[in-house]
Amino acid sequence: MLVRSQTLTDQVDYAYAAVAQGPAQVVWTAGACPLDTEGNTVAVGDVAGQAVQVMDNLATALGEAGAGLSDVVKTTVYVASSSQEDLVAAWEVVRGRMGEHDAPSTLLGVAVLGYDDQLVEVEAVAVLPGA
């Protein structure tokens, strides 16, 4: 269940918290990176282009764990930039892929990410209803 605050501002495009109820399975992903199937960084120099590949890779990893983007209860979005414009460019792609499912998220700029020319990484936690 996504929690929207009645006290905090409603001018954000994400829920403030998420609650998993009853028996459930939890899926933690590694940070999804902008790598193609050959392990090459795609869209070098393009934050939004890398975010598209990242979200494709995140959806694939979640799918292989039996989950989907609609099961995500928390994301962390890392952007290797000190420019708020770059952070917003990545965020717009992430939010677009999440659709109406506005799970809590943290968006932050970092100095560097792990792969050559990497600008974006997204990790997620998903919860699957228990049997």
For the chain, how many structural domains are there in total? 1
Q: What are the backbone angles phi and psi of residue 37, rounded to the nearest 5°?
A: -70, -15
Structural domain harbouring 45 = 2-129
pTM score of the predicted model: 0.90
Q: How far is CA 8 from CA 3, 15, 66, in A?
A: 11, 11, 34
Q: How confident is the model at residue 131 (pLDDT cuts 50, 70, 90)?
A: low
Instruction: For 36-91, write each residue's pLDDT tens digit.
Output: 999 999 999 999 999 999 999 999 999 999 999 999 999 999 999 999 999 999 99
Q: Please choose, from the candidates 10, 13, 123, the residue with its C-alpha nearest in 3D space to the C-alpha of residue 73.
A: 123
CATH code (residue 39): 3.30.1330.40
Instruction: For 90-116, write each residue's pLDDT tens digit.
Output: 999 999 999 999 999 999 999 999 999
